[in-house]
């Protein structure tokens, strides 16, 4: 029996996060204050984040030590397995070697706790007892709720109303961890009230929920801080435990990937897997291809503009240089809720501009075709978001079949689909649609991007 | 950092199943034909099962080799981790060492695929292309659906109507694997029609669903065979991969359990964990305590009678000597659907009679109290069934706190609760009840047990 699973001992959990900023050929553009149009300083972010995370956001150190308390919690699910998908390879009849790093083994079913735990930890270290955040489909909210349970923090989650009603099991999970979950828009914030006055039946949006969570933190006189599950530099850095483990596992396997694929919404799943492997490409040591896969319904890299824009719809955050569809862009209701974001992580955007990574946009029906094939061959029902990466990994493997090349292709299976069965139901019932004609929507939304 | 996770390489997946029948101090009583009252022969079971499984059912060999194809599929989720629950220990402030073997890492979220895969395999080896089975909450149906997807078999699942309607996501999961799922009672079998004639709105029961699945197999002229997910000797034997791995992992940990706890419905989760550790107790080498935990709503070991009874409500199966509440006993609607069975595996019953294992019955509210504590300390939301074992493991750990003993306590966490969020919702909303007064129901049902 040739090996398929590459497991590491818990002692192999990384001891430091990798900070790609140390190795970038050009530095990241600064974050800009929307009023002064000047680069922001730590004090601008202090009402929202603890100082250690603000430092990490701009750190140029190659490695940042992982606190022992955080590593101790990581081992509840880390190291995660790297698996060679032999049965999928057989079904595709491809000479390619297909690997997936499986983050669905975490208690909440995704990679999100990798950053939720350190974010909760640093807040607690600085005396914070109460955190606010938003969640769409619920993956990030679940991760924060769990992290807060571990560290005895209060957790306040603003959950987009349409998900609150449609995905009640995610809410139950968060409440099982002890979190307080509020449907957004709510009447407990000014931002929420404003929306409800205009539309008492508003289904909510991630943008509104962010505004509520931010307001709740800012209005607390420093008692509460706010947490974000993607986009920011420190979030991507925390996720690099994924790629670091994968490097050790590829060494076990005696192979090195030719093509690395990840899905991109805010960029944390992609960044976590890719960044530790990117150093060898930047240095010229390896010629790995890195492919970011985004939904055709929110194609920030492939169809957005690289410019300064707000991180939220309500235009309250600092301005970030990134690939954006315009902060007013509302993606079509695809089932990969975590990929429905108008912007892209500054690090991922920067790498794309530098030509170090590629990007491709895919529609959801072929994504679910790939997910079903994976389910029937490898057993795991994948979440809709990483199924985007899976789709492109399969396409690469099929190209290998044509060319006869036995490339090594790896993708980040960053979550399972146990809470996404409604989406699979739609797929099985033939009710899924590919959303076309986003171009006009993008053009309109880009008109709202501020001039810098 | 002291170790908490004990992972094995895939090469450590057992190469044979352990058959406790070889080591029993007294042999199991024979299975009896309800008409002749004589022990049944292989030909009596041939319409339902492939010959290899019938042989395994009565085999006296200590080990039965695991086919390489089955091991190859096992490694999609095996070996599973053994984890020391250090955070739970801290929360309990106990000197005890608490370990759990975690079977929830399988793609369907439980230990059930350990036997679903070999059952599908042996059927396929004997030329069968179509399998029938029943499922209550859906764990077993999902496992069979996955196994059939792996081996290109048709899978026909009769799902208890109340679960079909109330747990639609399990149905979606089974259909994603390609299975055909029918709400039971259905109009596609005589047994189903009979029930529907009496009550067109029948919510169904496991007993009815078994009758439908058995009928579909028997009526197929050998084209279809039937599969069962617990109770039978070969099912418990397939599950011994759990305990065998655990033995290797305890060796890594440098500890050996003093108390081993498992939940019992049909007995497969308990048997799979316990049987490989029992040999050392039978031989006198170890003095381990083994505790079977059953729901107070279906207390076959602690309040049933050890006698010959039918395996199904419709009284169509051979007669099995086991602890039974009477085949007409319908357990109260507790959330641990997999534990709602009137009988107990013959092997588990026999061990209880021999005094080799203990048994205790627990109510569901304290079970969910334990589950919530586990969720908030260890992160994993446990399924209601293994939360019964968890409850008793915690009680043992609390006794150690009083006595000051640092016993090693281990339990089988045989599944996660991702598809049981409705139960957690009831718990959080204070709507859960403990079902009392089952004694009269049991006394009435025992009157229907046949006289042998």
Do residue A381 and residue B176 have CB atoms under 8 angstroms apart? yes
B15 Cβ under 8 Å from any chain A Cβ: no
How many whole angstroms separate alpha carbon A97 and alpha carbon A257? 9
Q: Tell me how many degrees the CA angle A69-A239-A5 measures, rounded to the nearest 5.
A: 95
Return the CATH class of domain A5-10+67-109+234-440: alpha beta
B448: distance to nearest CA of chain A, Å?
Answer: 41
The verdict on a CB contact (< 8 Å) between A418 and B109 is yes
Which of B65, B416, B421, B422 to mutate to test binding with chain A, by most A CBs within 10 Å of its CB?
Answer: B421
Please answer yes or no on whether B379 and A72 come within 8 Å at the CB atom. no
Instruction: State whether residue B103 sits within 8 Å of chain A by CB.
Output: no
Answer yes or no: are the C-beta atoms of A125 and A112 closer than 8 Å: no
Q: What is the 3-state secondary structure (H, E, C) of chain B?
A: CCCCEECCCHHHCCCEEECHHHHCCCCCCCCECCCCCCECCHHHHCCCCCHHHHHHHHCCCCEEECCHHHHHHHCCCCCCCEEECHHHHHHHCCCCEEEEEEHHHCCCCECCHHHHHHHHHHHHHCCCCEEEEEECCCHHHHHHHHHHHHCCCEEEEEEEHHHHHHCHHHHHHHHHCCCEEEEECCCCCHHHHHHHHHCCCCCCCHHHHHHHHHHHHHCCCCCEEECCCCCCHHHHHHCCHHHHHHHHHHHHHCCCCCEEEEECCCCHHHHHHHHHHHHHHHCCCCCCEEEEEEECCCCHHHHCEEEEEECCCCCCCCEEEEEECCCCCCCCCCCCHHHCCCCCCHHHHHHHHCCCCEEEEECHHHHHHHHHHHHHHHCCCECHHHHHHHHHHHHHHHHHHHHCCCCEEEEEECEECCCCHHHHHHHHCCCCCCCCCCHHHHHHHHCCCCCC
| CB contact B108 to A (< 8 Å) | yes
Chain B's closest residue to A143, CA to CA, is B379
The pLDDT tens digits for A243-273 are: 999 999 999 999 999 999 999 999 999 999 9
Q: What is the percentage of chain B residues whose pLDDT exceeds 90?
A: 86
Domain boundaries, chain B: 5-10+67-109+234-440
**Residue among A102, A379, A413, A429 with most chain B CBs within 10 A, to mutate:** A379
SS3 per residue for B138-157: CHHHHHHHHHHHHCCCEEEE
pLDDT tens digits, one per residue of B255-266: 999 999 999 999
Interface check for B154 against chain A (CB to CB < 8 A): the answer is no
B283 has a chain A CB within 8 A of its CB: no
Shortest CA gap A434–chain B (Å) = 20
**pTM assigned to the model:** 0.96
ipTM: 0.95
pLDDT tens per residue, chain B (452 residues)?
Answer: 789 999 999 999 999 999 999 999 999 999 999 999 999 999 999 999 999 999 999 999 999 999 999 999 999 999 999 999 999 999 999 999 999 999 999 999 999 999 999 999 999 999 999 999 999 889 999 999 999 999 999 999 999 888 898 889 999 999 999 999 999 999 999 989 998 999 999 888 887 898 899 999 999 998 999 999 999 999 999 999 999 999 999 999 999 999 999 999 999 999 999 999 999 999 999 999 999 999 999 999 999 999 999 988 788 889 999 999 999 888 888 888 888 889 999 999 999 999 999 999 999 999 999 999 999 999 999 999 999 999 999 999 999 999 999 999 999 999 999 999 999 999 999 999 998 778 898 999 999 999 88
Q: How far is CA B87 from the centre of its chain?
A: 27
Residue A146 in contact with partner chain B when CB distance is under 8 A: yes
Contact A106 B379 (CB under 8 A): yes
């Amino acid at each position: 029996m040739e090996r398929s699973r590459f497991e590491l001992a818990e002692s192999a959990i990384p001891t430091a996060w990798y900070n790609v900023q140390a190795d970038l050929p050009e530095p990241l553009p600064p974050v800009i204050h929307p009023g002064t149009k000047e680069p922001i300083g730590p004090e601008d972010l202090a009402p929202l984040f603890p100082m250690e995370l603000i430092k990490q956001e701009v750190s140029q150190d190659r490695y940042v030590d992982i606190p022992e308390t955080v590593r101790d919690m990581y081992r509840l699910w880390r190291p995660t397995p790297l698996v060679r998908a032999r049965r999928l390879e057989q079904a595709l009849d491809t000479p390619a070697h297909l690997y997936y790093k499986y983050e669905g083994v975490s208690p909440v079913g995704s990679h999100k706790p990798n950053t939720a735990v350190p974010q909760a930890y640093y807040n607690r270290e600085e005396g914070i007892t109460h955190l606010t955040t938003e969640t769409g489909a619920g993956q990030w909210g679940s991760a924060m709720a769990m992290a807060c349970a571990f560290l005895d923090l209060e957790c306040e989650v603003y959950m987009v109303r349409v998900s609150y009603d449609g995905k009640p099991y995610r809410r139950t999970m968060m409440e099982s961890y002890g979190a307080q979950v509020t449907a957004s828009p709510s009447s407990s914030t000014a931002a929420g009230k404003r929306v409800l006055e205009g539309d008492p039946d508003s289904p909510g949006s991630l943008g509104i929920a962010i505004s509520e969570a931010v307001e709740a933190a800012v209005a607390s006189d420093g008692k509460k801080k706010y947490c974000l599950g993607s986009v920011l530099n420190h979030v991507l850095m925390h996720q690099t435990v994924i790629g670091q483990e994968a490097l050790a596992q590829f060494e076990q396997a005696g192979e090195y990937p030719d093509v690395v694929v990840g899905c991109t919404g805010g960029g944390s799943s992609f960044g976590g897997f890719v960044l530790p492997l990117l150093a060898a490409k930047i240095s010229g040591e390896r010629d790995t291809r890195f492919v970011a896969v985004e939904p055709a319904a929110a194609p920030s890299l492939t169809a957005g503009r690289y410019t300064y824009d707000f991180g939220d719809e309500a235009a309250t955050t600092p301005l970030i240089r990134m690939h954006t569809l315009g902060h007013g862009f509302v993606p079509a209701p695809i089932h990969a809720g975590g990929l429905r974001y108008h912007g892209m992580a500054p690090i991922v955007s920067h790498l794309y501009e530098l030509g170090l990574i590629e990007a491709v946009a895919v529609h959801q029906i072929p994504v679910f075709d790939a997910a079903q094939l994976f389910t029937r061959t490898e057993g795991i029902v994948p979440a809709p978001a990483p199924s985007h990466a899976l789709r492109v990994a399969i396409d690469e493997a099929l190209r290998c079949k044509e060319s006869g090349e036995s490339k090594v292709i790896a993708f980040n299976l960053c979550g399972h689909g146990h809470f996404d069965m409604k989406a699979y139901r739609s797929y099985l019932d033939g009710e899924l649609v590919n959303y076309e004609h986003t171009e006009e929507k993008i053009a309109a939304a880009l008109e709202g991007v501020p001039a810098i």
